[in-house]
Structure 1
Amino acid sequence: MTSALSTRPTRLSRLVLVPTVLACAALLAACGGGDGDKKPATQVAAKVNSGEISVHQVNQVLQRQPGLKPEQVQAVSRRVLDGLVDQELAIQQATEQKLDRDPRVVSAIEAAKRDIIARAYADKIAESVSAPTPEEVKAYYDSKPELFSKRRIYALQEFNIEANAEQKAALQSKIPGLRNGEELASALKNAGIRFGARAVTQAPENIPMGALAELAKIGEGQWLVKAGPAGLSAVFVAGAKPAPVTEEAAKKAIEQFLLTDRKRKLVSDSIKKLRESAKIEYVGTFANAAPVPAEAASAAAEVTPTVAPTAPASDALDAATLQKGLGLK
């Protein structure tokens, strides 16, 4: 049931600042010469033919390396610089071949520029968001037992079944009585019904909140069946291993999630107000297209709040892993 147990949440990328890393990188770059040979912070890191790569460019890439430790900076900085050298060589060749004037390239550059400026505005708006309080963190933890205190790792057998209305009705009555996925596969084959199937182990962070809430209510050996326009999605719970996460272990990840979610909502509300006060006119074929209801657009932007341990042997949480699971990074 890939469609029922997968999600594609929308997101607004944010720059992750790493002050300590940047300071170390700048320090490493400044240590190239003796006391009498101090260079400015914008010194050149490498010369490539007639071009140059600055320390600032290296630092910009380091900013996008979450979790980088100070002792890793020197090695990572060199790898980053080597990558920038390769990039510069490619750019020089592209420029020589006038690829920078290609309409597709110009269009892509303009699109990237618009995205960067829009994200800068969003980041500026989000600066006013306050961090969640300990009480808010606890309230969130308590409100999502399926993610924390009663968290389970699911062994699932998923089926995507092609079926007409009559077949769907029959299968919805039949499937709950089957003992396992093998019985369903056999029944579908005998009936000549096309289907796709897979066995998968899923943690809560990989399951949409709606499906997770339903899975949390059923036990091993039971089915979750959903009808769709083209057929059915069916999931058999072959196993559900308890894997609780303590409040203390989840604290930092929850704080980061709540903060990020607040920023997303604030930016969304800000854009909504701008829309209300702006003069917007759709033209051509878009003029006759049905508008997307605000409620539907808002629901599409919702993320699935989930938490996962960094490793099976530990109940510590990794905020970066959490945010990736949430689709917020």
Structure 2
Amino acid sequence: MTRTFTLAHTSFFAVTLALGLAACGSKDNQGVSTQVVAKVGSEEISVHQINQVLRHAGTANASVSAMGHEVLEKLIDQQLAINEATESKLNRSPQVVAEIEAARREVLAKAYMQQITSSLTKPTPEEIKSYYVKHPELFAERRIFNLQEIIVPTMPNLAQQLRSLAAGGKTTEEVSAWLKGKDIAFSSGSASRTAEQIPLEMLATIHPLKDGQSAVLEATQAITFLRINSSQQAPITEAEALPSIEKFLSNQRTGEAMTAKLKELRANTKITYMGEFAKAESASRTPSTDNSNNIEKGVAGLK
């Protein structure tokens, strides 16, 4: 999907957020670009600032154009507000100072992580095609599911009993009646989901099932009886899927690199938690053997 940028229906404050810190403090940019396009009092606005806004907006051409003129007018409005804020000494307000510092931290951290990931290699055509072949449930055999679910609290032996009901072809209505007969509280719901909207852990269990079949999924605090009420084939060809797979694999590679680097930095830096966070940090060290978080999130999405 092509990303477009328009200011026609953009509020002043929304544009201000888009402009970011780079548009503030025109004097700081004078050394970067001397192509001044406007003066607001004694403050200058440069082509560099306009181009930066256009780049952040994702436009293909960051030259001064009709769109650039619109951006300039918003920068002028912003500078007028900045001048008044400075005159009123709002720049010394503790809240404003804190927000500027938070933005500075975010920009610096993002710049560093971009530096780390900029040298990563792109997924090869072979890797992209391999992912397509290994995941027919997402592509060649993709389906749209009409799912019904029943969620019950985790109880001893309950999952096994529900699996027996699933194997026996019981419907969600029959399972609901069975639970009511045993005074077991539960919640139920239904939803239509495409294959890619279901976590891979769940999809691996659901995909082999035929319409009318059910599965039982166990999570930390809940058990889910999930039935495929109906489904329809909606395959995606390799040519259609390749761009999305490339983007997914690139994002995955970036995420893994960032996680690895932060893990390394944490290992080589002394980090001391204080006060109430010291106790919370100690509790967070407790290892978890449960891998059902994604399943829980996926099931929650059906509600």
TM-score range, shorter chain: 0.5 to 0.7
SS of residue matched to 2:282: coil
Code of the residue aligned with 1:268 in structure 2: it is: T
- 1:146 is displaced (CA, Å) by 1.5
Determine the structure 2 residue equivalent to 1:281.
272
- 1:104 is displaced (CA, Å) by 2.7
Matches for 1:39-78 after TM superposition, within 5 Å: 42-48=34-40, 51-66=43-58, 68=59, 70=61, 74=65, 76-78=67-69
Question: Structure 1 residue 172 and structure 2 residue 155: aligned?
Answer: no
Determine the structure 2 residue equivalent to 1:262.
253
- 1:98 pairs, out of 83, 89, 109, with 89
Code of the residue aligned with 1:137 in structure 2: it is: I
8 Å CA contact retained: 2:51, 2:62: no
Determine the structure 1 residue equivalent to 2:147.
156
Determine the structure 2 residue equivalent to 1:310.
none
8 Å CA contact retained: 1:155, 1:200: yes
Give, in whole Å, the separation in 2 of the partners of 1:212 and 1:72: 46
What is the RMSD computed on CA atoms of the aligned residues? 4.1
Aligned residues: 257
Give, in whole Å, the separation in 2 of the partners of 1:196 and 1:55: 58
8 Å CA contact retained: 1:129, 1:263: yes
- 1:234 is displaced (CA, Å) by 4.2
* Alpha-carbon distance change, 226 to 46 in structure 1, aligned in 2, over 3 angstroms: farther
8 Å CA contact retained: 1:44, 1:55: yes
Determine the structure 2 residue equivalent to 1:139.
130
Where does structure 2 lack aligned partners over 5 or more consecutive residues?
4-31, 295-303
Deviates more, 1:84-93 or 1:212-221: 84-93
- 1:278 is displaced (CA, Å) by 2.5
SS of residue matched to 2:97: helix
* Alpha-carbon distance change, 269 to 229 in structure 1, aligned in 2, over 3 angstroms: closer
The normalised TM-score by structure 1 is 0.61
Give, in whole Å, the separation in 2 of the partners of 1:189 and 1:78: 67
Residues 72-91 of structure 1 show CA distances to partners (whole Å, capped at 9, x for unaligned) of: 98454455445445544544
Deviates more, 1:48-57 or 1:150-159: 48-57
Give, in whole Å, the separation in 2 of the partners of 1:46 and 1:185: 70
8 Å CA contact retained: 1:168, 1:227: no
SS of residue matched to 2:146: strand
SS of residue matched to 1:272: helix
Q: Percent identity?
A: 38
Where does structure 1 lack aligned partners over 5 or more consecutive residues?
1-15, 17-39, 303-329
The normalised TM-score by structure 2 is 0.66
- 1:195 pairs, out of 187, 190, 201, with 187
8 Å CA contact retained: 1:152, 1:240: yes
Question: Structure 1 residue 218 and structure 2 residue 209: aligned?
Answer: yes
- 1:117 is displaced (CA, Å) by 1.1
Give, in whole Å, the separation in 2 of the partners of 1:227 and 1:207: 16
Give, in whole Å, the separation in 2 of the partners of 1:293 and 1:133: 38
8 Å CA contact retained: 2:50, 2:64: no
* Larger gyration radius, structure 1 or structure 2: 2
Code of the residue aligned with 2:111 in structure 1: it is: A
SS of residue matched to 1:130: coil
Code of the residue aligned with 2:120 in structure 1: it is: V
* Alpha-carbon distance change, 46 to 238 in structure 1, aligned in 2, over 3 angstroms: farther
Deviates more, 1:49-58 or 1:265-274: 49-58
- 1:97 is displaced (CA, Å) by 4.1
- 1:287 is displaced (CA, Å) by 3.6
Matches for 1:234-273 after TM superposition, within 5 Å: 234-273=225-264
- 1:229 is displaced (CA, Å) by 4.9
Deviates more, 1:169-178 or 1:101-110: 169-178
Determine the structure 1 residue equivalent to 2:298.
none
SS of residue matched to 1:244: coil
Give, in whole Å, the separation in 1 of the partners of 2:149 and 2:66: 44
- 1:168 is displaced (CA, Å) by 5.3
8 Å CA contact retained: 1:188, 1:195: no
Question: Structure 1 residue 290 and structure 2 residue 282: aligned?
Answer: yes
8 Å CA contact retained: 1:151, 1:243: yes
Residues 88-124 of structure 1 show CA distances to partners (whole Å, capped at 9, x for unaligned) of: 4544444444333332332222122112112211111
Code of the residue aligned with 1:256 in structure 2: it is: K
Determine the structure 2 residue equivalent to 1:27.
none
Determine the structure 2 residue equivalent to 1:114.
105
Give, in whole Å, the separation in 1 of the partners of 2:64 and 2:232: 40
